[in-house]
Amino acid sequence: MQIPDPVYDINKSYDDNYREGPVFHGRIPATIPNPPPVSFLGIPANSRLGIPAGPLLNSEWIGFYAKMGFDLLVYKTVRTHPHPSYPAPNCLYVSVSGDLTPEVLNTPLIGIPQIEPASMREITITNSFGMPSQDPSVWQKDVELSRSLIGKGQVLIVSVVGTEREGESIAENFTRAAKMAVEAGAMAIEMNFSCPNVKGTEGQIFQDPSAAGSIAQKVRAGIGTNVPLIAKVGYIGSAQAAGELVSAIGPFVDAIAAINTLSATIINPEGRPALPGPGREKSGVCGNGIRTAALGVVSRLSQEVRARKLPVALVAVGGLMTVEDIDLALSSGADFAMSATGAMWDPFLAYHMKQQNLREGLRR
């Protein structure tokens, strides 16, 4: 059976998808009765499944996926100032076989604009947005609208990033962005410490435990203890690196989400850059090919959190394409799971998971 076109139209620019998406011609499924709610960092939630920041561009996307039964919804990364997206193409299929690792990614991957995947296992993509953001006067109102579009037992998380600018340190800017998001209605804050698609230090903060810890401490003090705080990190290849990061940010965060893609050089079939323009030499790879690497990071973080006896939850992100993948993540040390690429191609993923859980009497 052929997989349908994604809800996010990868043949259009980010800006077009922001204005015109999501693209969905099916029927919203009936609500499945939920078991007693789980606790998402102290907030009652219908399930442990959500969508990370990538596909949730604005309130239209939040409202759509909330209706589709995804209960943990992360509003795409916002800033204290407007910031444009990279031009199209912003998403490409990537031709891969097997699991991707940082070692494999030392060799460029081939990006192609269109394939006809026969299964979810054939979908690996790259995305290159550059962490765009609307002006706060726009996104704050839209976050407020998003809050009104989610239902009981659903959680609106807002992803924020900071920039060193105009005499303001990156930690101060992160904190200001987080406070603005809380004022707009965010129920939890995610600090985006990892994005391979931007220049400068803001995209790789997780690789500097000292800086990450300082930012987390500042943001925690700024938003208080009543709003859950999450750190989104990238690929961590060793127990030592995982332990250093956990030690630095663990005292200040309620959860760590991992991972935000793998970084790779993408070329077209002719060998030229598939994503032309400065700052796009590398881009994030996500989808089926990164699942093993992502769950490896979750496992390393889990061991380090337990070793330090920290009350920090783990959110598995990366390569979760099917219900079976979600089950694997939740049985591998993660407390919650989020699907981006999987949900883009299969918006019924949460519905299928809840159907299975209802049959099996689970609380996923």
Report the alpha-carbon distance of residue 218 to residue 249 in Å, rounded: 11
Q: Which residue in this structure is represented by tokens 């705080």?
A: 229
Phi, psi of 72 (to 5 degrees): -115, 105
Closest CA to 65 of 104, 24, 34: 24
Report the alpha-carbon distance of residue 108 to residue 113 in Å, rounded: 16
Which residues sit opposite 338 in a β-bridge? 50, 317
Report the alpha-carbon distance of residue 184 to residue 145 in Å, rounded: 9
Count the alpha carbons within 13 Å of 304 in the hemisphere toward its beta carbon. Answer: 22
Residue 315: DSSP 8-state: E
Whether 49 contacts 339, CB under 8 Å: yes
Helix (H, G, I), strand (E, B) or coil at 337: strand
Q: Is 195 a catalytic residue?
A: yes
- Which of 195, 198, 248, 323 does the annotation list as catalytic? 195
Greatest distance between any 2 Cα atoms in the chain: 57
Which residues does the annotation mark as catalytic? 195
